[in-house]
Structure 1
């Protein structure tokens, strides 16, 4: 378990993050809105590209039929003069040149428009990726804080990595399925336009092409159904992930309430600790004053409470008494010796005189 200081820091960090959760929710809504705008622009751009491609295909088919018809007519129209044929040829070349110039102009115009849309899409994608990274970091921190209260550090990191990997895998799978669905729809529209273009002049070959296109259409419809089923599975997985995130959010709210209760208990405990600190401070002051009093009394008492000093003092006193006795004995001995010396001196003087 955490001690009081670490728990207080955790509560403060959690409250700061909870205060910023609204901003991250707003950023999440902004990411979804930009993603929808980007998806809509991409679809419009693809539709425009397909429309131009279909128009170009129609023109190519019309030109091919026109030249084929002219070629067939030229086989049976030997009555036309060379001047008329040359004039018809130049007129056809002029029309073809006009059509090519118009096609080039339209292509340049739509390429510019495509470039602008791609730049806008790139900016929007960068902004969306930035917001998404911020949101993922925030979500990771929230999940980590939540699981640290229950599963421990190792378990929380493993669960967090597992949830993020599952979510990323499902998002990638959903994007892949949506892209495949869009491609199939575009190819289906392309074949429909091709079928309509071929249905202008219905003959044996057109009927064969129609049957082939019909079979391909059936095949692609089956693929579309399969992709729809896969999309439904991905949606179910996303709903289960959303349910898991909802449970995590509820657990987060519960932990928030529990942290508030623990914060109140922590404040009471800190107040009690402060009271004990004040009492301890007063006891230390009383101890210091008593120590000073004892020190003063020891200074005044001298040798009364020091056994070693008293023993040494007694030893010195005994040695002083012994030395005094020895000194008295030596003084008496000196006096005796002095008297004896005087006696010997008198005797010596007396002997010299006699």
Structure 2
């Protein structure tokens, strides 16, 4: 169970916990299956060897008694069993190779587990540094947000002051009013000058002797 948990912990960083659990169970099942096959093959091989040995002894006994067809049949059967033994030995070699491969993988997995266990303290220290950095950045972010709110309030005040410049229609109306005021000022200056001129003329006329009759009016 500890072996399975350690293997799952090592693979979980790369495959995820669920996938790692499935993969480890598959490997352990394959290892158990290979070992069972190896055991069964050894038992079968031993049984066949015993049968071959028994056949050989039986053949020798029969050879001593007779040289007939029964002996030839036994020899043929013996060759068949020997061929079966060779086939079983090949299967046994393949199973042993599979077990060796599984053991190599387990060794690699153990090395990976040891490496991960050694790496965990450094990762934790790095995580603590990152958390501290995040805390500082959050504080800085609060300051930035406060400055942003202040700038936004200042900007709103400036926008209120400069709303005339931002609104083209209001600006055009304002320009028209300014132009109208300038025209009125100009007309006022003209009227003032005309009034002054008329006042001067009236004064000059009043100062002349009354030779041409009474002055009716003077505007």
TM-score (norm 1): 0.35
* Structure 2 unmatched ranges of 5 or more: 133-219
Q: How many residues align?
A: 134
Matched residues in 2 for 1:185 and 1:267: separation? 66
Matched residues in 1 for 2:110 and 2:127: separation? 25
Matched residues in 2 for 1:209 and 1:260: separation? 77
Shift of 1:254: 1.5
> Which residue number in structure 2 is paired with residue 172 of structure 1?
36
Superposition map of 1:109-258 within 5 A? 137-201=1-65, 203=66, 206-258=67-119
TM-score (norm 2): 0.54
Aligned residue for 1:226, secondary structure, equals: helix
- 1:56-112 CA distance string (max 9 Å, x none): xxxxxxxxxxxxxxxxxxxxxxxxxxxxxxxxxxxxxxxxxxxxxxxxxxxxxxxxx
Shift of 1:138: 2.0
- 1:99-148 CA distance string (max 9 Å, x none): xxxxxxxxxxxxxxxxxxxxxxxxxxxxxxxxxxxxxx121111122122
Matched residues in 1 for 2:25 and 2:93: separation? 25
Is residue 259 of structure 1 aligned with residue 123 of structure 2? no
Shift of 1:163: 0.8
Superposition map of 1:100-111 within 5 A? none
Aligned residue for 2:59, secondary structure, equals: helix
Shift of 1:207: 3.1
* Structure 1 unmatched ranges of 5 or more: 1-136, 273-354
- 1:264-321 CA distance string (max 9 Å, x none): 5578899x7xxxxxxxxxxxxxxxxxxxxxxxxxxxxxxxxxxxxxxxxxxxxxxxxx
Aligned residue for 2:64, secondary structure, equals: coil
Matched residues in 1 for 2:84 and 2:102: separation? 27
Kindly indicate whether the alpha-carbon contact (under 8 Å) linking 2:9 and 2:17 is maintained by their aligned counterparts in 1: no
Shift of 1:236: 1.6
Matched residues in 2 for 1:213 and 1:138: separation? 53
> Which residue number in structure 1 is paired with residue 209 of structure 2?
none
Aligned residue for 1:221, secondary structure, equals: helix
